[in-house]
Chain A
């Protein structure tokens, strides 16, 4: 009787131990699987760097880096090929500058208004509307720039070509406004109420409080919003590919058609260049340039954003 009881206990103890061991193994396996999925992000970055650098190295063996940076022509598919990235950078720079000239003032005013002036109800209505606008696919914005904004501009600027940087830049600006306004608004709302109350107690108006207390206090967050806006403008592809034309053109004149780095990649990828040709490798060199520019802006933006988060 007592011996069977002892055997029972021994058996159940063995069961329990096996159960525990199983449970432990299962837990470890699950943790490993979850960690691997988190590591996909790291592999993606490594993959991007690997592909861009590998193909670009082949390109830079044929074209000296100095020519790439200093040549004033971009004619990679001609027999007399020139590879001056400056030509494409000028298009990217001009369209981004126009976009930011629209997006920064509009985005900032909207952010200050929504965060400091608007009632809760107004905010509840407008924030989703802005979010919906941010959800419109960029190809649709490109279509809008080409078939609506350009004809509209041609009424005011006679002789404006059908493809131009101005209309692409303006529409790109409208597209970026929601990004800038939402990040800046978050930064301003993170400013503690006590700062505003202190300012009101000194007799300041809402506008004075907003511009002299809240905006300076949220400055690093607002700056981060601008920088992320810049990085988005530089990387934007379809609006410029559709509305700004695809001829490389070394110009800072917004009424001219010009290709950006992104538009050039689309143009080459759309055609059928053989894998391994120099023309094929140019898009990776152009892509590497783009990746570096946006990486610098992104890191700057995230550094600024982290700083303002730590303040309060």
Chain B
């Protein structure tokens, strides 16, 4: 056997060293890219806290918007966001979960199913402002619902429907087929299998998807600006419960509203620095809300993965 001559050996060593350097360089690049994202995130937070933290007191949450920046608060905005989310969840959860169950457990492999699937995929990529135009043409003018809590809730429900459907399907798909077969073997009908087995077992996964969807909806601005949400509101929607019969009122659904992102948008477009501070404080509240919802979802999924052993 021939041993390598010294110069060839040196050449190979140099080439291996060069490859190793390149490898290290790429690792550094990857880490730098992640770090850049992290720094941006931190800068976003520090900037918001630096300029808005002083405004965060109880008055800020209990006051209406005002022409005077120091007295302005986000009462109408957070109540508006909350009521809109209520409608969104009430509409998107049953429809989204129902559609997910249908596509996983019932749908035959035919043209109609293919069309539904293509539609869901496509809807997930439609820009949110297009949903706003749909709502403006359909809900506001054709159905005459106006720029109300109901319109905004329905619009955002349609917007997050693909998220709820996709996560429901993924959760259902992870349940092994033998669970269903065992239930069928005992004479259960299809709905009984779904109701007593598939749905309970996939609930945490569905919940994760619903939370992520709602956190997306609560931060969406474009569609509700498009339907014409009012930016200056100094009253709350009518209370759903009243002291006199019939005790329950749904007038709040038709009430005009403002929401957190709209309030932030309104304050950012003001030139005065004091309003900019209000925008920072409101943005801080909104980001805290969405991050909490997202963190909850990530935690849920993490727990789910750990506990799930079929």
Contact = CB atoms under 8 A, between A and B. Distances in A.
A93 B153 CA distance: 32
Contacts of A231: 125, 127
A305 B138 CA distance: 33
Judged by DSSP, the binding face of A is helix
Contacts of B294: 131-132, 135
Interface in A259-298: 262, 265-266, 269-270, 272, 275, 283-284, 287, 290-291, 294-295, 297-298
Given A106-B33, A140-B286, A287 B133 contact: yes
Nearest to A127: B298
B236 interface: no
Contact of B98 (A38, A235, A272): A38
Interface residues of B, number: 90
Contact of A41 (B161, B226, B286): B161
B99 A228 contact: no
A228 to B, nearest CB: 7
B30 A41 contact: no
Contact of A51 (B138, B189, B276, B287): B138
A147 interface: yes
Interface in B76-99: 94-96, 98-99
A87 interface: no
Contacts, number: 268
Contact of B191 (A30, A140, A207, A232): A30
A293 to B, nearest CB: 9
B45 to A, nearest CB: 10
Interface string B126-143: 111111111011100100
Interface string B278-303: 01100100110011011100100000
A126 to B, nearest CB: 6
A238 B224 CA distance: 11
Contacts of B34: 110, 113, 126
Contact of A42 (B27, B98, B119, B291): B119
Contacts of B123: 41, 44-45
A27 B189 contact: yes
Given A144-B47, A266-B222, A270-B225, A41 B129 contact: no
B53 to A, nearest CB: 15
Contact of A38 (B20, B116, B293): B116
Contacts of A205: 19-20, 22-23
A174 B40 contact: yes
Contacts of B3: none
Contact of B128 (A41, A235, A272, A283): A235
A241 B250 CA distance: 34
17 contacts: A31-B102, A38-B99, A41-B116, A41-B123, A45-B123, A54-B137, A131-B298, A137-B261, A140-B286, A148-B44, A207-B26, A231-B125, A237-B221, A238-B221, A242-B268, A287-B129, A295-B122
In order of increasing CB-CB distance, the 3 nearest A-B pairs are: A235-B127, A137-B219, A113-B30
